[in-house]
């Protein structure tokens, strides 16, 4: 990458930072060298590498002409394997014999912030009995690596990819938690932020101090010539709250690419040192016991002038290399991609059966379409989206969810909307105003996020219970609304649990936790409305899950019923799954079939009684099926 002349404002600071960076590099090299000398290469590791090395080298060479860095990657892999604890190597062996373990019907996940749920990692470990009570098999902890405070984008601005944030604990705490979770049958997932670092990362600090080596870890320019060329083609991620794709750094005297926020510097993967360093960090975290990595913002990681810098072929080359590295060093580990793109872009992130990439993806589009169906009482868009995802190859697998740490971005399929006679912009405006409670008849209590007056685009925030009407019913003492809202909440979870893939709860949804409006009183949090659904877990409310008739009891039991339903043989990984016409736009039908057994899920997305009719089809439905459904009823029919 072309770099301009350095602008140095503080020579002493520059010298100190550069010296520190060199010292750090020497220390890291010494440690790596010492590690690789510990023992001869393992036969197991050697065999895994030999079967994949040619492809890995070919992929690496397609991006870089740097044999030394390829050798550095192989050395880092050997060192990571040598350092891998014995119990994790045993897990590797088990998973190699059962490579589709994450597709089992009994998979059931939860995502949470460590500090909001328990305070820190040690205290979270003490709460494992609560997780076991829910028969979880998968726990996704939101970003927990060292981050600046308070500006860290919920932890997605990372200062150190190898170290747990001191506010949450230590690396030893993370390893101990992972071990205890494994004993409880729960796989640990954490985020790995591939696209950027915090502006306070040691690489960024060295770059700001004038070190050209570390300026080449990012995209740094003396003037606006190249940034303007990028901006001509690259859309803005947050045009309202963080406009532009570049930020001026006064200390460095350069423009730096910051597609997300000014304090998040985009990494330059054209530099092989960046790739090797980041892959080394993934292996290090895997050796602490992490079993699943949610790779954040992966479509953005490769930049090319003249393109929109999204979904470029080089992205897939890098993800494929990451997959190969993990298969060699720690094959128990799987990759979950965060790909907020159209369905036509998704299949590529799974790779092919011969050259796989991600094991699974976040099912963002279904989440959005579920909320759209609930507000509009119309399942046609949802059905169309499910059909598109079910049509993807068998190697495509999804984590299905209703809410997570993020907003609901109304990225519906506009072509399908138009085919159905729906105006995309008017429908989007209806949805985000509906979920902020600004549409007549709305039951919801949420907030807008990132409203853009120019494009009339906006996203929505709020907890599942509050968006489904529970909060409004409690405030207004409206018992009929309360009962209906609980049914809505349960319907949404029952629907998400029936789809292809496995369900993941947002922590607190199992007890109907409401919005945390107190974020408005915190100056460090008030500017981000996503904090509305990022509040501390209410353990007093959780205690009510055992008291019959309470909101917490009803929802907790409802989640248990979702889990029990998934023990049916029709939730086997190879089950045939399809939607079915109900001749009623308010009712979704999904058919699951394995040899000799068929299971039908019927979901009424309206507050009125509805009738559904399903036509017969040879080999699937031997006879027509008719059903009368109560408001917001989910019914399962075994054939």
Active site residues: 296, 338
Where does 209-330 have alpha helices with state H?
A: 212-215, 225-231, 272-286, 313-329
Report the distance separating Cα 227 and Cα 217, nearest Å.
16
User: What does each C-alpha distance from 407 to 111, 368, 490, 568 come to in angstroms?
Assistant: 14, 10, 20, 32
Report the distance separating Cα 23 and Cα 21, nearest Å.
5
162 phi/psi in degrees, rounded to 5: -110, -5
Find all residues with CB under 8 Å of 293, minimum gap 6, and list them: 189, 190, 191, 192, 282, 285, 286, 333, 334, 335, 336
Beta strand 292-296 pairing with 220-221: unpaired
Are 282 and 328 in contact by the 8 Å Cβ rule? The answer is: no
Count of CA atoms in the C-beta half-sphere (13 A) of 348 = 18
100 is written with which tokens?
A: 């589709």
CB-count burial class (<10 Å; 0-12, 13-18, 19+) for 517? middle
Q: What angle do CA 492, 294, 409 make, to 5 degrees?
A: 45
The secondary element (H helix, E strand) that includes residue 36 is helix 11-36
553 is written with which tokens?
A: 């009891």
How many Å separate Cα 51 from the centre of its chain? 31
Report the distance separating Cα 194 and Cα 315, nearest Å.
11
Q: Residue 578, SS3? A: strand
Are 399 and 336 in contact by the 8 Å Cβ rule? The answer is: yes
- Buried b / exposed e over 544-556, threshold 16 CB at 10 Å, is bbeeeebbbbbbb
User: Quick count: other Cβ atoms within 10 Å of Cβ 299?
Assistant: 22
- Pick from 308, 184, 201: nearest CA to 245: 308
521 phi/psi in degrees, rounded to 5: -90, 0
Report the distance separating Cα 381 and Cα 386, nearest Å.
9
- Longest distance between any two alpha carbons in the chain, whole Å: 82
């Amino acid at each position: 990458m072309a770099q301009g002349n350095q602008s140095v404002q503080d020579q002493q600071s520059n010298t100190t930072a550069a010296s520190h960076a060199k010292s750090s590099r020497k220390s890291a090299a010494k440690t790596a060298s010492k590690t690789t000398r510990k023992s001869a290469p393992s036969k197991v590791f050697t065999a895994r590498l030999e079967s994949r090395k040619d492809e890995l080298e070919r992929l690496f060479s397609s991006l870089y002409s740097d044999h030394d860095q390829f050798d550095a990657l192989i050395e880092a892999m050997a060192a990571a394997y040598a350092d891998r604890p014995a119990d994790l190597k045993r897990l590797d062996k088990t998973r190699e014999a059962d490579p589709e373990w994450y597709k089992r019907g009994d998979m059931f996940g939860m995502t949470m912030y460590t500090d909001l749920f328990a305070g820190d990692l040690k205290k979270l470990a003490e709460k494992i009995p609560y997780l076991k009570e829910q028969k979880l098999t998968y726990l996704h902890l939101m970003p927990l690596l060292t981050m600046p405070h308070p500006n860290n984008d919920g932890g997605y601005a990372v200062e150190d990819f190898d170290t747990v944030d001191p506010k949450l604990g230590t690396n030893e705490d993370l390893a101990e938690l992972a071990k205890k979770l494994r004993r409880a049958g729960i796989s640990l997932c954490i985020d790995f932020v591939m696209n950027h670092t915090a502006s306070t990362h040691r690489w960024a600090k060295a770059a700001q101090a004038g070190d050209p080596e570390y300026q080449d870890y990012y995209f740094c320019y003396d003037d606006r010539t190249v940034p303007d060329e990028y901006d001509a083609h690259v859309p803005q991620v947050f045009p309202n709250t963080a406009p532009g794709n570049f930020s001026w750094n006064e200390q460095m005297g350069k423009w730096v690419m910051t597609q997300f926020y000014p304090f998040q510097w985009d990494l330059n993967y054209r530099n092989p040192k960046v790739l090797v360093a980041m892959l080394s960090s993934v292996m290090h975290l895997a050796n602490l016991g992490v079993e699943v990595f949610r790779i954040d913002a992966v479509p953005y990681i490769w930049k090319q002038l003249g393109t929109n810098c999204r979904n470029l072929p080089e992205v897939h080359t890098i993800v494929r290399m990451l997959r190969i590295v993990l298969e060699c060093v720690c094959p128990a580990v799987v990759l979950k991609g965060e790909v907020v793109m159209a369905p036509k872009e998704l299949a590529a992130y799974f790779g092919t059966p011969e050259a796989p990439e991600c094991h699974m993806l976040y099912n963002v589009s279904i989440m959005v379409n579920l909320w759209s169906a609930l507000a509009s009482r119309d399942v046609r868009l949802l059905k169309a989206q499910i059909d598109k995802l079910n049509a993807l190859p068998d190697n495509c697998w999804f984590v299905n969810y209703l809410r997570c740490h993020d907003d609901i971005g109304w990225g519906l399929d506009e072509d399908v909307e138009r085919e159905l006679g729906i105006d995309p912009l008017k429908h989007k405006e209806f949805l985000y105003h509906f979920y902020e409670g600004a549409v007549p008849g709305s039951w919801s209590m949420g907030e807008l996020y990132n409203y853009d007056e120019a494009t009339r685009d906006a996203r929505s925030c709020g907890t599942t219970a509050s968006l489904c009407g529970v909060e409004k019913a409690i405030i207004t003492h409206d018992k009929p609304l309360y009962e209906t809202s609980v049914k809505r909440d349960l319907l949404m979870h029952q629907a998400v649990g029936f789809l292809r893939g496995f369900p993941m709860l947002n922590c607190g949804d199992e007890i109907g936790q409401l919005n945390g409006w107190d974020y408005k009183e915190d100056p460090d949090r008030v500017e981000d409305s996503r904090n509305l659904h990022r509040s501390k877990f209410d353990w007093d409310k959780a205690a009510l899950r055992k008291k019959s008739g309470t909101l917490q009891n009803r929802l907790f039991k409802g989640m248990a019923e979702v889990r029990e339903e998934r023990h049916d043989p029709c939730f086997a990984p190879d089950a045939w799954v399809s939607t079915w016409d109900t001749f009623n736009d308010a009712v979704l039908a999904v058919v699951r079939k394995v040899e000799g057994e068929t299971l039908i899920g019927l979901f009424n997305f309206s507050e009125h009684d509805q009738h559904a009719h399903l036509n017969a089809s040879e080999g699937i439905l031997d006879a027509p099926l008719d059903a009368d459904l109560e408001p917001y009823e989910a019914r399962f029919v075994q054939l």
